[in-house]
Structure 1
């Protein structure tokens, strides 16, 4: 037997002897002073219970603090960089970008770019999950060019009778002339006009232009 093994055996023997003596002393104490022994055991048990519960309470308190600190990140602020990025696209790229933007809405089933020669005002066709069809006319302009009254009249004249859509949206990177706004207010069912700031807000996470329109 090696010296290491002998030392381990000696430590084990001493440990067992110590436990045996401790148990014998407890036995003698219980037989001699039963009441005092019972009180001592109860105090030891109570102390252990308190020690076990205290960390649990502290853990719950800390977890509560963590929950308070959790916040929902706000929508990012719309900036002019969004509009600059849109204006840097060609007309086809802008139409694809608007189609991608429309697809972010959970209410949208499909959004397909349709623009091209003889598109008759239909650049993006949006199909909502409730069955409605929405025409989007895209106007990628740079200041000082704005959407005119004629543009509003053309879109209004095609989105229902030709494209069988329920609603029409004009999206521009600039704005609308006063005559265009006035013409739109005169329509039985006004179009949804999205100017540059509204487009930037939509891009930054705001609601789509058709949000809130009853089916």
Structure 2
């Protein structure tokens, strides 16, 4: 038998002996002083209950401390948080994979009190809808997410694809493209030709939004 097991066995025997002696003493006292014995037994019972509750509460507190610190980090990693008033760096977004970036944008959209629901769609056949959100006023917005490295700009083809699906297929009132890079000149020119231009969020605009700025649809939410 190991030393640890021996110590546990010794403590168990000691505890049982103490309880036997306590019960025997109460039995003797009860035959001699019944009223006083009831009071003592009540006090011991209350003290035992208080001790057990405090011990259980202490174990719960200690147990919380045993959870790995990586767990809350994983829960909040989707959105880079500003540090001491400074905006989050785009590298925080670029460190995510495309799916993680879509989740990050959906969570960022949920910060807006005007947003009732924001759901990440994504997938091979998403038809340009990475995130779909509904405002509290009933309007629907489609967001396409492009986690691109600087220099790999969003092209005019993406503008045309989103414009061709967000109303007729997804029944949305507005479309937004969010990228960590920027847009080509042709993409910006194409967007200005649309009857209802898309909202184009580039890297600096995304950084400002993450740091607490208004969402791209701020005017539509009124």
Equivalent-residue separation in structure 1 for 2:135 and 2:86 (angstroms)? 27
Q: What CA deviation, in whole Å up to 9, does each residue of 1:87-146 have, x standing for no partner?
A: 110000000000000000000000000001100000000100000000000000002100
Matched residue SS, 1:165: coil
Correspondence 1:176 to 2:183:
yes
3-state secondary structure, aligned to 1:158: coil
Determine if the alignment matches structure 1 residue 125 to structure 2 residue 132. yes
Correspondence 1:78 to 2:95 = no
Q: Who wins on radius of gyration, i.e. which is larger?
A: 1
Contact 2:135 2:221 in 1 (8 A): no
Distance 2:85 2:166 in 1: 33
Q: Distance in 1 between matches of 2:140 and 2:215?
A: 14
Q: Quick one: distance in 2 between partners of 1:104 and 1:212?
A: 16
- Alignment partner of 2:212 out of 202, 205, 212: 205
Greater than 2 Å deviation, 4+ residue runs:
75-79
Find the aligned partners of 1:177 and 1:96 in 2 and give their Cα distance: 25
Q: 2: CA distance between counterparts of 1:151 and 1:76? A: 34
Residues of 2 paired with 1:167 and 1:199: CA distance?
18
Q: After superposition, where does 1:140-179 map in structure 2 within 5 Å?
A: 140-179=147-186
1:186-208 alpha-carbon deviations (Å, 9 max, x no partner): 00000000000000000000000
CA distance, structure 1, for counterparts of residue 86 and residue 203 of structure 2: 14
**Alpha-carbon RMSD:** 1.3
Aligned length: 139
CA contact (8 A) 2:137 2:221 kept: no
Partner Cα separation in structure 1 for residue 194 and residue 124 of structure 2: 27
Residues 1:110 and 2:117 are matched in the alignment: yes
The correspondence of residues 26-45 of structure 1 with structure 2, limited to 5 A, is none
